[in-house]
Amino acid sequence: MEINPRDFREQSEKACHDATLRAVLDHATRYFQAKRGAALETFADRETHFARARAARLAALSRLPELLEQLEQTATAAGTRVHWAADAAQAREIITGIAQDCGAKVVVKGKSMVTEEIALNPALEAAGMEVWETDLGEFIVQLAGEPPSHIIAPCIHKSRADVAALFRAKLGLLGLSGLDGLPGQENLSDAASIPELTLLARKALREKFLAADLGVTGVNIAVAETGSVILVENEGNIRMSTTCPPVHVAVMSLEKVAATLEDAADILRVLPRSATGQKMSSYVSVLTGPRRPNEQDGARETHLVILDNGRSEVLAEPILREALLCFRCGACLNSCPVYQTIGGHAYGSVYSGPIGALLSSLLLPAQDTRDLPFGCTLCGACKRTCPLGIDHPRLMLRLRERVCQSSGTGLAGAAHSFLALHPLFYRLAVGAARAVDPNLDLLPRLPGFPGLANFVDTRQPPELKKPFSAQLLRLRKKQARTKKPHTNKGDA
Ligand code: SF4
């Protein structure tokens, strides 16, 4: 399934008419919101914890170059090889090179949005490797040939019956064995239970873990003071991906660093609560270098790939850099009325929802993402939900401004601003407009007003019969005539 943010308008329109998708999204996002609400209730003072998490993220962004250098030193000292990737192509090249050097034939992956961002799977497959997503949701979308549609719940758009049908069709075809002793996937009914489906996936993936030569994961937090990477999960698949294969590659976008373990703890108190509604995820792995001689498990070779891919430029933007605070809890997606209606695929990129619209606009080519900031109601639900206090609406407005400036509506804006500040010219301009184009059919279609044509195509502008200023004047005069004389009771 090919998706592109350039198709955001068409995809949104299509998704709006998909009643099944809306029902599934409604159910799932309400479920996440309820779980999150209950988990946050367990905080005696949630605002203090939110503030500490935000402070940890802000501190990291304000010292980013210094902390990344420290991370490189501490991780290297712990035995991890650190690689810097300026963009997606370089990251793919580095990871494919590591895989080839260790003779990898089977690669297992933990859920990682950043490896989706760099399109790692096709690169490894093109180099002749078998790549398996091992997070259940990612495994499902991989079988379906689709990208994830939610930051933390990649198959949120699929019902249980969809998954049963997919397993029935695909598990056998993919030559996955090891399903003995289970009701065969070919006999799965649409009413198969979640434990039944999970057991099938688990059996199918277990042999891949055992056969894997390389494990690839993302990074939730990288700790500069210790050189550790921290990974949170609920299924145990990340722990398997980092300990079964002899080589582990962790891929992080550069903003995921934290200065200290204490900062990481402040983030961890908030992240699982906000993401999955848990006080803490079932598994939290803190990995510091490869397996030591006296240790029982762990990879014998560890790599850390630090990806920029446009983030340094975002960091230099005074307002927009706030988007880099995000730790991908996904809560803003669940509260967003637009996401709840259209789902993740409509956004056309691996990042969806409010934060996805921001990140994609910042990291992808501007000509592909110009519609994304406009697909927002500015209702502020995302801002109210975000535990890090990211002001999505403000950032959306800044992006809209950028789009308008680059497309020429900035000129129209400047003209409007001049007229608004000079009443005489304003009256002359409105008078002229009323004379030549009373129904506002023509003006918005003139070159230099590109956004206005779309605006009036979907709205009925009022007729310019009488200027608003004249109507206001008349109203004030009328009010003055009907106003009773003022009596000061104190003088009576
Ligand atoms: S913007 Fe905030 S709410 Fe949305 S995913 Fe990031 S941290 Fe979570």
492 residues of the chain, pLDDT tens digit each? 778 999 999 999 999 999 999 999 999 999 999 999 999 999 999 999 999 999 999 999 999 999 999 999 999 999 999 999 999 999 999 999 999 999 999 999 999 999 999 999 999 999 999 999 999 999 999 999 999 999 999 999 998 889 988 988 887 655 555 444 445 556 667 777 888 888 888 888 988 999 999 999 999 999 999 999 999 999 999 999 999 999 999 999 999 999 999 999 999 999 999 999 999 999 999 999 999 999 988 999 999 999 999 999 999 999 999 999 999 999 999 999 999 999 999 999 999 999 999 999 999 999 999 999 999 999 999 999 999 999 999 999 999 999 988 876 556 667 777 888 888 888 888 778 777 777 767 776 666 565 666 666 666 666 656 767 778 888 888 888 887 655 554 443
Ramachandran class of 230: left when φ > 0, alpha when ψ lies in -120 to 50, beta otherwise:
beta
**C-alpha distances in angstroms, 60 versus 154, 205, 257, 371?**
28, 37, 6, 31
Which ligand 1 atom sits nearest the alpha carbon of residue 385? 3
Q: Report the separation in Å between the CA atom of 386 and the middle of ligand 1, taken as the mean of its atom positions.
A: 5
Contact in structure between 154 and 290 (CB atoms under 8 Å): no
The answer, yes or no, to whether any atom of ligand 1 lies below 6 A from the CB of 5, is no
Range(s) of the chain covered by CATH 3.40.50.10420: 57-312
Q: Report the separation in Å between the CA atom of 220 and the middle of ligand 1, taken as the mean of its atom positions.
A: 13
Sorted by sequence, the CB contacts under 8 Å of residue 32 that are 6+ apart come out as 153, 276, 277, 330, 331, 334
pTM (2 d.p.): 0.85
Angle between helices 409-421 and 392-407 (to 10 degrees): 100
The answer, yes or no, to whether any atom of ligand 1 lies below 6 A from the CB of 327, is yes
Map tokens 């991908």 to a residue: 328
**Rounded to an integer, what distance in angstroms lies between the CA atom of residue 117 and that of residue 132?**
17
The answer, yes or no, to whether any atom of ligand 1 lies below 6 A from the CB of 230, is no
Fold for the domain defined by 57-312? Rossmann fold (3.40.50)
**Rounded to an integer, what distance in angstroms lies between the CA atom of residue 200 and that of residue 205?**
9
Which ligand 1 atom sits nearest the alpha carbon of residue 151? 5
Map tokens 């003139």 to a residue: 446
**Rounded to an integer, what distance in angstroms lies between the CA atom of residue 150 and that of residue 467?**
48
Contact in structure between 439 and 463 (CB atoms under 8 Å): yes
Of all protein residues, whose CA lies closest to atom 7 belonging to ligand 1? 326
The answer, yes or no, to whether any atom of ligand 1 lies below 6 A from the CB of 386, is yes
Which ligand 1 atom sits nearest the alpha carbon of residue 275? 8
